[in-house]
């Protein structure tokens, strides 16, 4: 019995066909730098062919420098509104029942660069997300040992990373409700190995279904509180409007609520920017907030019509679900769109509601593919136009905590740069009133919308 080309294509996309003997193992794509220090690394879209993201490909997001935690003096302290304040070594934690979870970790700011008007922050495209196998203990098993007192409503989580200059320490709270969820873990393993320093060695929170800002790394202190915590990273950052707002407008603090759940989303990994005509496997992954992916649809006509993609494997509650679609590619330039729907009935929108910090982007986004028999010549990239050189004071004021990767990613108006300078001088950037105008001129002419 012969199998059709379409079936063969689907089987090969699913990884169901044996690799020919001696074929090279595919190497995991390396993430690229948005900023080397503090370290922000993004996974290229090729990474979305894997259900489990290899640790070497996994995105990294650090607000400050990665601390080098020594096991000899690391411990986890639990105090505040508990019956019995406790400290744990990693060996103590390992005596509790082991818990494992496959879950997507996605930065709340993933996709920020696509928002118009642009806003400040790490300019993620697609790859501020990955799916890993996490292992450790349930947070609720640890909390049970200490015994939460009745009034406790929030848990304040603090890692070993230290702020630079006068920036506020990265401290986050999660509601007790989320802490007691059996799917919330304290993990020491990622993909079967101890956490790497970038990903939070020795211990991090796994807030399954929630955006990355709650997944505190290098965790060393948990304090039970009976009130909302008003530190910068809870009260000001990681908040979005509770209702739609006009793009580019300022939003009143009272209308901003904390970011929690991820949105339903999909990414096209293959075929990339160019492919030969014929039957082509369009492949990628989809995920949501703990509601399994129910379907993925593909459009090659700007969303006028949709065809159902084939979901691969069994899927997990919080993980990536791989999908593939056999597409008949004809000569010309095409735009492909993938749109995921989860079991709760949430589907990716065709247009995103704008929010001031650029969180939770999940548009069903067109990707452009050129279908032609011949691979097009790589376009010659014109050298950047000679810009004005940075003023002397720029280096001393702005290049001590990080380099200009932070600035080069941004595309901001003069008014936005003014606000950014307020933030940075607040954090301790040594910028005199005399030097400021030339630096604003420089930044707003070089890194503009």
Ligand X SMILES: Nc1nc2c(c(=O)[nH]1)N[C@H]1C(S)=C(S)[C@@H](COP(=O)(O)O)O[C@H]1N2
- Applying CB under 6 A, the residues found at the interface with ligand HEC are 38, 63-64, 120-121, 164-165, 167, 397-398, 400-402, 406-407, 410, 420-421, 423-424, 427-429, 431
Q: Are strands 265-270 and 278-287 parallel, antiparallel or unpaired?
A: antiparallel
Pick from 213, 300, 342, 420 the residue near ligand X by CB under 6 A. Answer: 213
Cβ contacts of 416-420, under 8 Å, gap ≥ 24: 416/118, 416/119, 416/120, 417/443, 417/444, 417/447, 419/120, 420/120
Cβ contacts of 71-75, under 8 Å, gap ≥ 24: 71/202, 74/160, 74/202, 74/220, 75/220
Nearer to Mo ion, 213 or 420 (CB): 213
Residue 424 binds which entry of Mo ion, ligand HEC, ligand X, none, CB below 5-8 Å type-dependent: ligand HEC
Residue 53 binds which entry of ligand HEC, ligand X, Mo ion, none, CB below 5-8 Å type-dependent: none
Q: Does 42 bind ligand X (CB under 6 A)?
A: no
Q: Does 172 bind Mo ion (CB under 5 A)?
A: no
Pick from 80, 212, 258, 292 the residue near Mo ion by CB under 5 A. Answer: 212
Q: Does 223 bind ligand X (CB under 6 A)?
A: no
Q: Are strands 219-225 and 76-80 parallel, antiparallel or unpaired?
A: parallel
Closest CA to 449 of 36, 115, 42, 40: 115
Q: Compute and round to an integer the Cα radius of gyration of the chain.
A: 23
CB 154, min distance to ligand HEC, A: 22
Tokens of 38: 């503090």
d(C-alpha 412, C-alpha 440), whole Å: 11
Nearer to ligand X, 48 or 218 (CB): 218
Stretch that binds Mo ion, among 10-18, 165-173, 206-214, 219-227 (CB under 5 A): 206-214
Rule CB under 6 A: which of 88-117 touch ligand X? 105, 107
Nearer to Mo ion, 38 or 319 (CB): 38
Nearer to ligand HEC, 94 or 423 (CB): 423
Q: Does 61 bind ligand X (CB under 6 A)?
A: yes
Residue 116: DSSP 8-state: S
Residue 431 binds which entry of ligand HEC, Mo ion, ligand X, none, CB below 5-8 Å type-dependent: ligand HEC
d(C-alpha 81, C-alpha 355), whole Å: 35
In the numeric block, the tokens 């630079």 are attached to: 164
d(C-alpha 75, C-alpha 90), whole Å: 7
Residue 110 binds which entry of ligand HEC, ligand X, Mo ion, none, CB below 5-8 Å type-dependent: none
Which 3 state secondary structure label does DSSP give 433?
A: coil
Q: Are strands 239-241 and 256-258 parallel, antiparallel or unpaired?
A: antiparallel
Q: Does 43 bind Mo ion (CB under 5 A)?
A: no
Stretch that binds ligand X, among 57-65, 265-273, 312-320, 359-367 (CB under 6 A): 57-65
Nearer to ligand X, 212 or 271 (CB): 212
d(C-alpha 210, C-alpha 426), whole Å: 30
CA torsion angle 178 183 184 187 (round to 10): 180
Tokens of 136: 């450790």
CB 47, min distance to ligand X, A: 13
Residues 186-208 as b/e (b if ≥16 CB within 10 A, e otherwise) read: bbbbbbeeebeebbbbbbbbbbb
d(C-alpha 418, C-alpha 406), whole Å: 15
Phi, psi of 7 (to 5 degrees): -65, -40
d(C-alpha 173, C-alpha 228), whole Å: 8
CB 421, min distance to ligand HEC, A: 5
- The interface mask with Mo ion, positions 77-116, x = CB under 5 A, is ------------------------------x---------
Nearer to Mo ion, 264 or 360 (CB): 360
CB 107, min distance to ligand X, A: 3
Pick from 78, 103, 156, 216 the residue near ligand X by CB under 6 A. Answer: 216
Give the number of other Cβ atoms within 10 Å of residue 399's Cβ: 14
CB 23, min distance to ligand HEC, A: 41
Which 3 state secondary structure label does DSSP give 135?
A: strand
Q: Does 402 bind ligand X (CB under 6 A)?
A: no
Residue 292 binds which entry of Mo ion, ligand X, ligand HEC, none, CB below 5-8 Å type-dependent: none
Which 3 state secondary structure label does DSSP give 317?
A: coil
Nearer to ligand X, 124 or 442 (CB): 124
Q: Does 292 bind ligand X (CB under 6 A)?
A: no
Interacting residues with ligand X (CB under 6 A): 58-63, 105, 107, 159, 161, 170, 198-200, 212-213, 215-218
Interacting residues with Mo ion (CB under 5 A): 61, 107, 212-213
């Amino acid at each position: 019995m012969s199998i059709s080309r379409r079936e063969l294509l689907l089987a090969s996309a699913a990884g169901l066909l044996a690799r020919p003997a001696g074929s090279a193992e595919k190497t995991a794509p390396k993430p690229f730098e948005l900023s080397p220090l503090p370290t922000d690394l993004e996974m290229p879209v090729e990474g979305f062919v894997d259900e489990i993201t290899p640790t070497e490909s996994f995105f990294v997001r650090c607000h400050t420098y990665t601390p080098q935690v020594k096991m000899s003096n690391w411990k986890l302290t639990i105090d505040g509104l508990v019956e019995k304040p406790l400290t744990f070594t990693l060996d103590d934690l390992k005596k509790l029942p082991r818990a494992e979870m496959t879950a997507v970790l996605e930065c709340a700011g993933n996709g920020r660069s696509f928002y118009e008007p642009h806003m400040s922050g790490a300019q993620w495209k697609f790859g501020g997300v990955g799916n890993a196998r996490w292992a450790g203990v349930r947070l609720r098993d640890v909390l049970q040992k200490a015994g939460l007192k009745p009034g406790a409503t929030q848990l304040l989580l603090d890692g070993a990373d230290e702020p630079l200059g006068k920036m506020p320490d990265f401290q986050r709270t999660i509601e007790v409700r989320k802490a007691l969820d059996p799917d919330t873990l304290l993990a020491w393993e990622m993909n079967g190995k101890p956490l790497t320093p970038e990903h939070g060695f020795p211990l991090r929170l796994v807030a399954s279904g929630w955006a990355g800002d709650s997944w505190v790394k290098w965790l060393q202190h948990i304090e039970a509180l009976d009130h909302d915590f008003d530190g910068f990273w809870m009260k000001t950052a990681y908040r979005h409007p509770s209702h739609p707002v006009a793009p580019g407008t300022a939003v009143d603090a009272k209308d901003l609520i904390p970011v929690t759940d991820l949105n339903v989303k999909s990414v096209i990994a293959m075929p990339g920017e160019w492919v030969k005509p014929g039957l082509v496997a369009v492949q990628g992954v989809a995920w949501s907030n703990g509601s399994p992916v129910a379907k993925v649809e593909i459009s090659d006509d700007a969303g006028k019509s949709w065809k159902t993609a084939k979901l691969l494997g069994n899927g997990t509650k919080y993980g990536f679900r791989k999908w593939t679609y056999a597409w008949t590619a004809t000569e010309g330039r095409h735009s492909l769109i993938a749109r995921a729907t989860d079991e709760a009935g949430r589907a990716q929108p065709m247009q995103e509601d704008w929010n001031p910090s650029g969180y939770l982007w999940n548009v069903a986004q067109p990707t452009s593919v050129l279908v032609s028999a011949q691979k097009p010549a790589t376009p010659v990239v014109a050298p950047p136009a000679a810009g004005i050189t940075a003023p002397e004071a720029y280096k001393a004021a702005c290049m001590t905590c990080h380099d200009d990767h932070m600035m080069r990613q941004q595309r901001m108006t003069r008014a936005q740069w003014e606000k950014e300078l307020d933030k940075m001088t607040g954090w301790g950037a040594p910028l005199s009133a005399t030097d400021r105008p030339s630096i604003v001129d420089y930044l707003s002419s070089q890194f503009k919308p």
